[in-house]
Amino acid sequence: MSTKIVNAEVFVTSPSRNFVTLRLTTDDGVVGIGDATLNGRELAVASYLRDHVAQLMVGRDSRNIEDTWQFLYRAAYWRRGPVTMAAIAAVDMALWDIKGKYAGMPVYDLLGGASRRGCRAYGHASGMDLESLFDSIRYEMEEGYKSIRVQTSVPGIEKLYGVAAQAQSSGERYDFEPANRGSWPVEEDWDTRAYLRHVPTVFEAVRNEFGPDLPLLHDGHHRMTPREAAQLGKSLEPYDLYWLEDCTPAENQEALRYVRSQTTTPLAIGEVFNSIYDIKDLISEQLIDYVRCASTHFGGITQLKKVMNYAEMYQVKSGFHGPTDVSPIGFAAQLHVGMTIHNFGLQEYMPHSEKTKEVFTESLAFENGYLNPGETPGLGVEFNAEAAEKYPYEQAYLPYNRLADGTVHNW
Ligand code: KDG
Ligand code: MG
């Protein structure tokens, strides 16, 4: 057996949206793939991998995942940050993929084996008005989802994250992908008072229509101050949310102390975090209920598993970030973690487009609201480099917000 890495290649492809993929090959010809997609900043990670990491991989033993992780993290000296951690994540995933293939086992078996039959997923509903929102919720339920995220347009706000139904500039209706192709970010608008007034009325209407049982979620997308977040959490208490996500930006972890002291609405946070240090106080002080980190932006399987084992001690559960900008490889990576940890909560799931599935073939199954990575050795995703070539990189930016007076606001 010759498990040494002999080749490290980086691909940037855009089947509906941009993805950065790392492919490692061992002397035996075993191939492992990893996701390094950082929405809107893809080329920075591609360069980090191509120009600084690829040559360090060649000659390393693919079996030593922990050592490789620590080497890339510590030897860079400049630790953490989304670019570095997405690059480390891609290496980490590719190494777990390789290990699974050598062992003939799916990655979750190597991480401790399955703790459940499948990972419960939530779907995404949104609407410009109540009628279209109700239709969207019914559609998601018919698709099999047992938990639904609800985003709504707000009178007085023209363009808002999470409200679907606009065609993207690619020409496809690609509902939940906020990044727009082009050389400049789209400007959106924001009004916190209008939002805080409107959202509780929408949840009241949804509860009246769908009853008390259906787990409902909402994403505040980093836009509120601690006091505003506390107000929203309190005003949503009668509607029994499963979680309120990103109620504050949370670069400042202390902000959550105030929110937590004011409301019993469950809190989920972490999709923009890239290090265990970004979230450790939120976990140990039990200021949140769900960890939203994604394998791709959080240093891969190795660090995600560690943070969840830590969170288990504090009864904090997983709610991993699963938008379409996490590629099928990154998604599979966190699904394997979700299968094995004791403290799995709920998995975000946005199915990828047909073009994306042409480039990344997945063994993943979605049935009756549950996701399962399947029994394929490794991560269960194959990368088709020839298909990828058909879809070259296209520049894309996430939007940004401005207030009525022109001030830039969190998007
Ligand atoms: O690239 C940004 C998206 O990943 C983000 O806006 C999606 O907030 C998001 C979510 O909860 O899925
Ligand atoms: Mg979010």
- State which residues of the chain have pLDDT below 70: 165-176
Query: What is the pTM for the complete model shown?
Result: 0.97
Quote the CA–CA distance of 282 and 275 in Å, as a whole number. Answer: 13
Report pLDDT for 177.
79
Q: Which amino acid is at 166?
A: Q
Quote the CA–CA distance of 113 and 318 in Å, as a whole number. Answer: 17
Q: How far is CA 143 from CA 172, 346, 350, in A?
A: 21, 17, 12
Residue 354 burial by CB count (10 A; 0-12/13-18/19+): exposed, middle or buried? exposed
Does the domain at 5-105 match CATH 3.40.1280.10? Answer given as no
**Three-state DSSP class for 77?**
coil
**Three-state DSSP class for 291?**
strand
Distance 110 CA to ligand 2 centre (A): 29
* Nearest CA owner, ligand 1 atom 5: 323
* Nearest CA owner, ligand 1 atom 9: 323
Tokens of 410: 């969190």
Tokens of 65: 């995942």
Give the gyration radius of the chain's Cα atoms: 21
Q: Is the CB of 325 under 6 A from ligand 1?
A: yes
Is residue 99 within 8 Å of 63, Cβ to Cβ? yes
Report pLDDT for 164.
76
How many helices (H) and strands (E) in the chain? 14, 20
Quote the CA–CA distance of 10 and 359 in Å, as a whole number. Answer: 14
Quote the CA–CA distance of 104 and 3 in Å, as a whole number. Answer: 14
Closest-approaching ligand to the CA atom of 177: 1
Tokens of 390: 């058909």
Residue 50: phi, psi to the nearest 5?
Answer: -65, -50
Closest-approaching ligand to the CA atom of 179: 1
Quote the CA–CA distance of 159 and 180 in Å, as a whole number. Answer: 13
Q: What is the 8-class DSSP label of residue 403? A: -
CATH 3.30.390.10 in the chain, residue ranges: 5-105
CATH 3.20.20.120 in the chain, residue ranges: 119-377
Reference 379, options 39, 115, 89; nearest CA is 89
Report pLDDT for 178.
87
Which of the residues are catalytic?
Answer: 161, 221
* Nearest CA owner, ligand 1 atom 6: 178
CATH number of the structural domain 119-377: 3.20.20.120
- 111-145 burial, b at 16+ Cβ within 10 Å, e below that, comes to beeeeeebbbbbbbbbbeeeebbbebbeebbeeeb
Tokens of 345: 């909560």
**21 beta partners:** 11, 35
> Measured at the alpha carbon of residue 285, what is the angle toward residues 283 and 289, in degrees to the nearest 5?
50
Q: Is the CB of 221 under 6 A from ligand 1?
A: yes
Closest-approaching ligand to the CA atom of 149: 1
Quote the CA–CA distance of 377 and 368 in Å, as a whole number. Answer: 24
Spatial neighbors of 399 by CB under 8 A, at least 6 apart, are: 159, 161, 178, 180, 185, 186, 187, 188, 411
Distance 270 CA to ligand 2 centre (A): 9
Distance 359 CA to ligand 1 centre (A): 22
Quote the CA–CA distance of 185 and 395 in Å, as a whole number. Answer: 10
Q: Is the CB of 219 under 6 A from ligand 1?
A: yes
* Nearest CA owner, ligand 1 atom 2: 39
Distance 282 CA to ligand 2 centre (A): 17
